[in-house]
Amino acid sequence: MKNFNIEQILDIMPHRYPFLLIDRIESLDDNEVVGIKNVTYNEPFFMGHFPGEPIMPGVLIVESMVQTGGFLILKKLGDPKKKVVYFSAINKVRFRKPVRPGDVLKHKVQLTSFRSNFFKLKSKSFVEDTLVAEGEFTAVVADRKEI
């Protein structure tokens, strides 16, 4: 099991501000990753979602989960700078509790199967010990285009 700081994440992931939605990888092995997203009031989406009652949008919680899973896939492939992960299906997503400024989202993502360049993942996301979201995802890996 290994952990990764933000600089190491930036080395692997193609995402950048304002759309990199993981801050730390707490642990990683062949089939499981735990990623952290620190939710702060400074996030730009809180200005409009919702004034007076800031709640992290569900689609961004899902994006943070799949980015954590994407990190696992890219590390598994061995040469992440040459590949990109596209998510092709999002299934059985459930939001259990709102996520608010000050919360620390912990995504536990498990690789359930893979064949060739197709990967299936399950994710559960927690704030402290409370399950706040979960879902299943399918991803496909392709060659990254030169920029």
Question: In this structure, what DSSP letter does residue 19 have?
Answer: S
Which distant-in-sequence residues (6+ apart) come within 8 Å of 86 by Cβ? 139, 140, 141, 142
49 a catalytic residue: yes
- Which of 15, 24, 49, 144 is catalytic? The answer is 49
Contact 69, 90 (CB under 8 A): no
Closest CA to 97 of 124, 75, 117, 74: 124
Residues with active-site annotation: 49
